[in-house]
Amino acid sequence: MAALAIAVAVLAVAMVTGSSGVAAVVTANKPVIYIFGDSMSDVGNNNYLLLSLAKSDYPWYGVDYETGFPTGRFTNGRTIGDIMASKFGVPPPPPFMSLYMTDDEVLGGVNFASGGAGLLNETGIYFVQYLSFDNQISSFEEIKNAMIAKIGKKAAEEVVNGAIFQVGLGSNDYINNFLRPFMADGIVYTHEEFIGLLMDTMDRQLTRLYHLGARNVWFSGLAPLGCIPSQRVLSDDGGCLDDVNAYAVEFNAAAKNLLERLNAKLPGASMSLADCYSIVMELIEHPQKYGFETSHTSCCDVDTTVGGLCLPTAQLCDDRTAFVFWDAYHTSDAANQVIADRLYADMVSAGAVQGKGNATAAAAAPAATPRVVVGGGAAPSMNATSPPKP
């Protein structure tokens, strides 16, 4: 058996074939989707973290989602991951925090993304409660153990080996860490040293995922962070911050080199970098080409407000499809559609989407009552037989 796993951040999904011959393939069966990331990918995990300050569970978020209500997504509608999942004929993976480890849903895709998360555990600390990348990997380990309990170690290993793991993290390590004057990392480290810290951390984390069975990993490169509304307002003329964009370019180059080294070192690993920088920059520089009118400010005009989110008191733009950015940090549903279309087209043109294979279809089960977590830090661990404790 081979299963497909996709994960999404500004963000991207791709399918790759490992050097060992392990391939992630699209079939008529339901592909498995795994998502690791931050608020660009979060579909509600932070809603279950009672002390988290990184939430979007209020209007106007979700106003253009199919339900019309907030879901925990940090946009007016769908994330890029939602759109990519629909291209493969599957529903968006549920948030990890909504599952019991006895659910049949653990056999399918799961979204581990958490708003405020970064590669570094100290990133986002002032959001109080969130799932860092290390926490998300531990959550995936819980899912894998639950899979083993249900279908056995061999079958679970085959599903995981055939899956794609998309990691969309790194933006918060800059926006909510290195670039913040009150965070220690921006004081202690030069940017060259900070890049080294991030790459050492990624090396350890991706190697850990590999040893948990991940073979096909798609890491979403950083977008032009200096051009998002929250950063533009810091410039003298409202333009992009070139130094911040340069940081993103340097990060992406270092990440690409790291992934190539991991491929050479780890048998069967096929880890790739998605070039999110180019497509997002194209949207920003040439919005009219894609049917947008505005790419320099947010739809709900919150570029300078604390938090930069579209609170219920915000005044929405008249045409939400005309804006590339929904709030001061996150792209709109319409922009996410364009980004997903481009990424999917790139996958097809590269021959990365295969039409045949034997993907494992997960059994569908009704959603369990969500677990509620009290306290700071990561979510508590659950075993495969006991329901979560509130």
Q: Is 266 inside any structural domain?
A: yes
Encoded tokens for 360: 């494992």
Q: Is 18 inside any structural domain?
A: no
Asked if pLDDT for residue 82 goes beyond 70, the answer is yes
Q: Is 140 inside any structural domain?
A: yes
Q: Select which of 303, 330, 332, 333 is catalytic.
A: 330
pLDDT in tens, 316-342: 999 999 999 999 999 999 999 999 898
Active-site annotation holds for 330: yes
pTM (two decimals):
0.84
Task: Determine the 3-state secondary structure of 259 from DSSP.
Answer: helix
Task: Give me the pLDDT at residue 350, please.
Answer: 62
Q: Is 111 inside any structural domain?
A: yes
Task: Give me the pLDDT at residue 23, please.
Answer: 39
296 sits in which H/E element: strand 294-298
pLDDT band at 230 (very low <50, low <70, confident <90, very high): very high
Please state the rounded mean pLDDT for residues 270-275. 88
Query: Which CATH number does the domain housing residue 247 bear?
Result: 3.40.50.1110
pLDDT band at 145 (very low <50, low <70, confident <90, very high): very high
User: Do 112 and 96 contact (CB within 8 A), yes or no?
Assistant: yes
Please state the rounded mean pLDDT for residues 277-288. 96
Rounded Cα distance between 203 and 219, Å, is: 12
Q: Is 199 inside any structural domain?
A: yes
Rounded Cα distance between 379 and 367, Å, is: 19
Q: Is 134 inside any structural domain?
A: yes
Q: Is 129 inside any structural domain?
A: yes
Q: Is 381 inside any structural domain?
A: no
Flag the least confident range among 24-33, 66-75, 93-102, 205-214.
24-33
Task: Give me the pLDDT at residue 30, please.
Answer: 67
Q: How many domains does the chain fold into? A: 1
In percent, the amount of the chain with pLDDT more than 90 equals: 69
Where in the sequence is the domain holding 105, given as residue range(s)? 33-350
Q: What is the mean pLDDT of the chain?
A: 84
Q: Select which of 39, 56, 171, 295 is catalytic.
A: 39
Q: Select which of 38, 82, 173, 327 is catalytic.
A: 327
Active-site annotation holds for 39: yes
Task: Determine the 3-state secondary structure of 7 from DSSP.
Answer: coil
